[in-house]
Structure formats: C-alpha cells, structure tokens
Amino acid sequence: MYLAEMFYSIQGEGMLAGVPSVFIRTSGCNLRCTWCDTPYTSWNPEGTETPLAEIVAFATRHPSRHTVVTGGEPMIAPEITELTRQLQAAGQHLTIETAGTVWADAACSLMSISPKLANSTPSERDGGRWAAMHERIRFQPGVLMRLMEHPYQLKFVVSRPEDLDEITSIVDQLHADRGRVLLMPEGTDQATLNERGAWTAELCKKTGFRFAPRIHVALYGNRRGT
C-alpha cells in the first residue's frame, strides 16, 4: 500500500479527539483542496510501498487499540478493503477519514466523513488548473449516503461564517443526524484557529452542531508525524 507515513499520536479532531491513536496515512488524493494540510499526499504526493503485514504489525504494537486510516484519500487505495479487514480482525477500533467522494467496501468502527465545501476549491492555485475537476467531484451525495450506513461523523472544515449556509443545505439533503455534525475551523497555526474558532463556536451554539478543535496543532504545531 502506498503510504506517506505511519505514526502514533493523539487524535486531534472529531468525536474521538484526545484518544491516543495510530495513524496510517495513504498518499494520493482525487481532490486538490486549496488549503490542504497534507500537500505531500495530494498536490505533491510522496510515499513508499508498504506491505500490509508491516502496517498491521505497526498498528498493533502500541498501547492504544485505536487506528485511524487517513490520507490523502484512503478510499482510492486498491488495498483499502483488505487492510481494514486485517486491522479489524486484529482487534483495532478503526476510524477511516475520507472526503466522501468515493465508495469502497471497507471495514470500520467510525466513518469520519469530511465533505469539502466551496471554500476548498483551488480557483487561483496552479493557475486554476484543478478547479473544474475539484468542483465537479467534491460533493457526491449518493456516495455520502452509502458511507453514512456505517457509524459516522460529518466533519466540515469552515473558513468563513458564510460556509454555514452550504453546510446546512448538505446536512438537510443527507438527512444527517445533527448530533453527528461537527464544525472545525480551517487553519494550521494556533492564531488562525483561535480567531476562526471564536466565531465557529458561536455558529455551533446557534445550530447545535458540535465544535471540533484541532488538538494536535495545539500540542505539536503543524508538523508531519503528529
């Protein structure tokens, strides 16, 4: 499997924020978010082919039973079905972090879906070369509804208060459980997260959606392997 990295850290985002977890990060993505915080898996993908046995051995040698398969976009990895089955058979609580544009037959305990909003479209980056493709595939309601057949969370990255209209529209269209919807401020430095977190918290109070911090940024900064 083509991986950018494997590491042991604290889950920083979502309903399981704070849980020590092994992270398996696949490399390669079918989207090009303008603010992507892992460009080494999307804009400039890099990694190494790693045997599944090595991945499972790494995941199971830490004290936590939680493993997060993330990316990039892990659902486009050809080995996703086999890897998730092996991790689950090894007793791991498995979270898959996906943008929700591709369905694959993957085992998991929590499908962490982060549908990408209009704020992610790279209109100016790389001369707008990726904008049309990204815009065409970033929202796939049929795929999202299938993924939501798993235990799920919907985690939206917000970068401006106006994003709320689009989020509400998507949540209504998907008939999502509002208690499973999280709003997470976009940003990779604490000052930006503090500023955006302040108004994001108010949006959560207004709507009943959960507020999602980015604990790993507070703990470690925006560094690979954390």
Q: Give residues in contact with ligand SF4 (CB under 6 A).
A: 29, 31-33, 36, 38, 41-42, 71-73, 99
CB 55 within 8 A of CB 1: yes
In the bound complex, what is the minimum distance in angstroms from residue 72's beta carbon to ligand SF4? 5
Closest CA to 2 of 69, 57, 66: 69
**50 or 112: whose CB is closer to ligand SF4?**
112
The DSSP result for 178-217, as a single string, is GGGEEEEE--SSHHHHHHHHHHHHHHHHHH-PEE---HHH
In the bound complex, what is the minimum distance in angstroms from residue 2's beta carbon to ligand SF4? 14
In the bound complex, what is the minimum distance in angstroms from residue 134's beta carbon to ligand SF4? 8
For 146, the token pair is 């299938």
**66 or 116: whose CB is closer to ligand SF4?**
116
**36 or 56: whose CB is closer to ligand SF4?**
36
**26 or 67: whose CB is closer to ligand SF4?**
26
Number of Cβ within a 10 Å radius of residue 51 = 10
Distance between CA atoms of residues 104 and 21, nearest Å: 23
In the bound complex, what is the minimum distance in angstroms from residue 69's beta carbon to ligand SF4? 13
